[in-house]
Amino acid sequence: MSSTVEVAISTQTAKYDPDHPDWRNQVAALRTDLQRETGAVAMRSEPAPGTKGGFVDVILALGTSGALVAAVEILRAWVGRDKTRSITATWTDEDGRERRITLTGENLDQQSLTALSESIGRMIEGR
């Protein structure tokens, strides 16, 4: 039995303001890569106090282990390109608990990526 798991990916940087055009272009490129490789991406924006823009989340609706593997590899590569970048992935695990990991370009943590992959993988496979 396979199910779809929604993962919210929020992006951060120490280099740009959230509404800076260069940052928005970088986040758009991430979304494009995720859409091309997983086929299941939506965007959500929350207003940010004191800015014209907002905090942008990429919502992944992962339904296959192949899409999960592709998403993890894209996220790893995107964060690794710039030490000022970070992403926070948030999802609800199989026990109904909210899970959250943050990956940074300075400290790309394989253990966190494994935790993300294993938790979501179990839910996709229906275990």
The enclosing domain of 120 has a CATH number of 3.30.70
pLDDT at 20: 92
How many independent structural domains does the chain possess? Answer: 1
How far apart (Å, rounded) are the C-alpha atoms in residues 127 and 121? 9
Q: What is the CA radius of gyration of the chain?
A: 14
pLDDT at 1: 44
Find the mean pLDDT for residues 90-103. 87
- Looking at the predicted structure, is the pLDDT value of residue 102 above 50? yes
Find the mean pLDDT for residues 49-68. 72
pLDDT at 43: 66
Name residue 97's amino acid.
R
Task: Name the residue among 83, 86, 82 with its Cα closest to residue 100.
Answer: 86
Provide the residue range defining the domain that includes 47. 5-125
CA 10 from chain center: how many Å? 6
**Can you list the alpha helix ranges (DSSP code H) found in the chain?**
21-38, 65-80, 110-125
